[in-house]
Each structure stands twice: as C-alpha cells, then as structure tokens.
Structure 1
Amino acid sequence: MSLPPGKEPALRILARPTDTNAAGDIFGGWLMSWTDIAGSIVAFRRARGRIVTVAVKDFDFIQPVYVDDLVSFYAEITKVGHTSLTVEVMVYAERKRGKETCERVASARLVYVALGKDRRPRPVPADDNFKNGYGNSSP
C-alpha cells in the first residue's frame, strides 16, 4: 500500500519511544490525539475560526504504529452542517523508512462545531471555493 496519490496530509509526525505503551507499541491515545488535531486543522480552515470537537463517530485501529514510523494524517471534510463539520481522517504509517513500506493504520470520523467569540455555536460560513484536506472542492 502507498500514501494516497496526489493528496497532501493535514499533518505528519514521527512516532518516538516516549509515545509507547507498556507493550512497546505506540499508545492508542497518542494516535487518537494526533488524529483529532489533524481533523481540527481542516475544520478550523473551513470554519474560518475557532472550532471544538464534539464527537468521535468512529475510530478504527487497523494496524499498530511502531517507534520511528512516520505517521501521515489525511483529513477530508465529508459534511458541512449549519454549525458543524464532519471530517474523515485516514492515517498511514511509513515503516522502515528507506525501504518505503506503508500501511494504513487507522481511520476516524470526527464532528466539530464552529464557535463564535462568545464560545457558542455559530454558522459555518458558505465557501464554494474552499479546498479540503485532500485538495478537492468540499461537498
């Protein structure tokens, strides 16, 4: 498997020894946290301002992540509501860098709500020219 062709990740990070669980693999909470951050980058841009995570609709751990994997997070807005945005995040790990092996390690669907200065939900601005995390026009 390879990284999605023609698409730019919302975020890339290197898994380090300090990110491991007791078994020596990367801690699932670490992966969930970075997945939320990657999704929020795309949601923040589309909402043109502050957002907050309100739900993780699903999160699938497909393969473990190991120390020194280069982890790439591809985020795509799949739905825009009045105040909310749903973002799908696909996570890939480039293993044994130099040998170029790559595996999809997780996927998630998160919901964010746009907030105003008063920290209350506000409408997501209309934006026909917005490009989501995959470089496609948003739905």
Structure 2
Amino acid sequence: MPADTNPAGDIFGGWIMSLMDLAAGVSAGTRAKGRVATAAVSNLSFLRPVKVGDVVCVYTDVVRTGRTSVTVGVEAWVLRRNQGERERVTFAQFVLVAVDEHGTPRPLPLA
C-alpha cells in the first residue's frame, strides 16, 4: 500500500522483512509443533525494489534443525503488476527457537 513506501515509491525493506519473518515462523512453528521466536536473521539481501501494485510471494525451506532451533531459508519474489515473469527480490536465513509457554527454549520434537 502507498503508506508502506519510501519517497521513491518503493516498499520499505522492513515491511518485506516482516512478511519473511512471518513465513519463517509458520515453517519453523510447523516443524517445532508449537510456538517459536526469531533469534537471528543472516544473509539478508535486497536484490530489487518492490513497487506498489506488485504481488509479493514468500517461499520457505527448512535448511537445518538443531536441538531447539530451526534455520529457515526465505525468499521473496514479486509478480510485477500481476503480469510477466516472477522476480526474486529478497532472500535471507532466519533462525527461530522453539519456546514453551514461558518463552524458555525447549527441545524440538522428533521429526
């Protein structure tokens, strides 16, 4: 939406990053079978701007699991004004930790 843009008309990177964090949380929460919290983000790269009117698609892949953590690769792609080829615009790795009802890290259940 226009309220989510900078003066050049590009969508704020933080807004795109929040979509990616939500998608990573869904993937990690599914693997953890419960609540997760974002612990770190690495290799965040903004490759191309996202414009008002672009359709944003976010894809995830669990790339590693630890005792309490899940590392999720996340990519954001756009369909420019709902036409043409999709373009990859952003990628990153998110590390999320499984937590209990008190926010304390807990072991992941067996896969």
Q: TM-score scaled to structure 2, two decimals?
A: 0.95
1:56 maps to a residue whose letter is V
Q: Which residue of structure 1 aligns with residue 106 of structure 2?
A: 122
Q: Secondary structure at the match of 1:63?
A: coil
Runs (4+) of structure 1 exceeding 3 A deviation are: none
Unpaired runs of 5+ in structure 2? none
Aligned-residue CA RMSD in angstroms?
A: 0.9
Report percent identity of matched pairs: 44
For the pair 1:110 / 2:94, whether they are aligned, the reply is yes
Pairwise CA distance, 1:126: 1.1
Q: TM-score scaled to structure 1, two decimals?
A: 0.77
Equivalent of residue 4 in structure 2, options 19, 23, 43: 19
User: For the residues of structure 1 that align with 2:22 and 2:51, how far apart are their CA atoms?
Assistant: 20
User: For the residues of structure 1 that align with 2:40 and 2:88, how far apart are their CA atoms?
Assistant: 22
Pairwise CA distance, 1:101: 2.7
Q: Which residue of structure 2 aligns with residue 12 of structure 1?
A: none
Q: Which residue of structure 2 aligns with residue 130 of structure 1?
A: none
User: For the residues of structure 1 that align with 2:106 and 2:35, how far apart are their CA atoms?
Assistant: 10
For the pair 1:32 / 2:32, whether they are aligned, the reply is no
Pairwise CA distance, 1:62: 0.6
Q: Secondary structure at the match of 1:96?
A: helix
2:108 maps to a residue whose letter is V
Unpaired runs of 5+ in structure 1? 1-15, 128-139
Q: For this pair of structures, how many residues does the alignment match?
A: 111
Q: Larger % of helix: which?
A: 2
2:73 maps to a residue whose letter is E
Q: Which residue of structure 1 aligns with residue 40 of structure 2?
A: 55
Q: Secondary structure at the match of 2:94?
A: strand
